[in-house]
Amino acid sequence: MENVRSLIDILELSVEEIDGLVATATDIIANPAAYAHKCDGRILATLFFEPSTRTRLSFESAMLSLGGQVLGFSEAASSSAAKGESVADTVRTVSCYSDIIAMRHPKEGAPLVASMHSTVPVINAGDGGHNHPTQTLTDLMTIHHEKGRFENLTIGFCGDLKFGRTVHSLISAMSRYRGTRIVLISPEELKLPSYVKKEVLQRCGIEYIQTTDLEAVMPQLDILYMTRVQRERFFNEEDYLRLKDSYILTAEKLWNAKEDLSILHPLPRVNEISVAVDRDPRAAYFKQVRYGRYIRMALILKLLGIN
């Protein structure tokens, strides 16, 4: 729709706009009261056709913290999708009831279709194994606060790089910064899809390596981005069971890591980071959750055109 700005892919935001969102989110942390009524009278709809804890609740918490209100559903079964309604019709309807929509859907491209039929901004809150731009904003906010910069960082992505949508979006975002190096650590079967390699890494001339050996590359990393093996995207349970524990980060495996390494994870965690690592000062994944709320507040303000 014309004049309505949605967020479907992280690259729709320029690097300057990302800096602006990080600055706003940082100001919200310092001065929450100044933002507490910015969205009075506004409504956020959360349309979650796939389960979520963090993303949905963090959107809801973000809108409530801005003085707005929320409505929505948290599973397809409790919406008219169960009666066969199309995404286009659901969104046409919900845009009459709300000012902004956050949508998660198991089908790649569904939030894009929704944005084409909505009269209010649509935010992609995760589409299948494709993209997850607001997790990427959360990751960028964390990187900015942990490292103080986006340039000249070596980031290791470990785990399910095939189905992990947060990985695809963060690689896209980081490919725009000078001196980014990417280290891809996964089992053979869960390698980064070739379209991401071609369209992002090779096109942007990003230096990258692929390996199966986490410990061998550990000393190079400034950031280690661990991920869960995405059970729900597997065609058979046997493959999942065989691959699920491919990487388990333990305190021992960090012996040769940099002292200022930052360990990120979009969560939920299953087995891939042992709980003993939570006590390591380099573990940043729970801080990351906290940043997610503030950066989503900044994004809602931006898309609604509120200063």
H helix or E strand, kind and range, residue 154: strand 154-158
Closest CB to ligand NCD among residues 38, 56: 56
Minimum distance from CB of 265 to ligand NCD (Å)? 8
Classify residue 201 by its DSSP letter.
Answer: I
Cα–Cα distance, 250 to 278 (Å, whole number)? 10
Amino acid at 197: K
Minimum distance from CB of 39 to ligand NCD (Å)? 22
Q: Which residues pair with 264 in a beta bridge?
A: 225
Closest CB to ligand NCD among residues 219, 268: 268
Classify residue 202 by its DSSP letter.
Answer: I
Give just the sign of the alpha carbon dihedral 175, 177, 182, 186. Answer: negative
Structure token pair of residue 295: 């950066």
Q: What is the CB neighbour count within 10 angstroms for residue 45?
A: 25
Minimum distance from CB of 118 to ligand NCD (Å)? 21
Q: What is the CB neighbour count within 10 angstroms for residue 43?
A: 18
H helix or E strand, kind and range, residue 72: strand 69-73
Closest CB to ligand NCD among residues 38, 159: 159
Structure token pair of residue 265: 């994870």
Closest CB to ligand NCD among residues 95, 124: 124
Minimum distance from CB of 223 to ligand NCD (Å)? 16
Closest CB to ligand NCD among residues 25, 35: 25
Minimum distance from CB of 132 to ligand NCD (Å)? 5
Residues that bind ligand NCD (CB under 6 A): 54-55, 126, 132, 135, 165-166, 228, 266-268
Minimum distance from CB of 92 to ligand NCD (Å)? 26
Q: Do 164 and 229 contact (CB within 8 A), yes or no?
A: no
Cα–Cα distance, 282 to 19 (Å, whole number)? 24
Minimum distance from CB of 179 to ligand NCD (Å)? 27
In 118-164, where does DSSP find H-type helix? 133-147
Closest CB to ligand NCD among residues 95, 288: 288
Closest CB to ligand NCD among residues 162, 228: 228
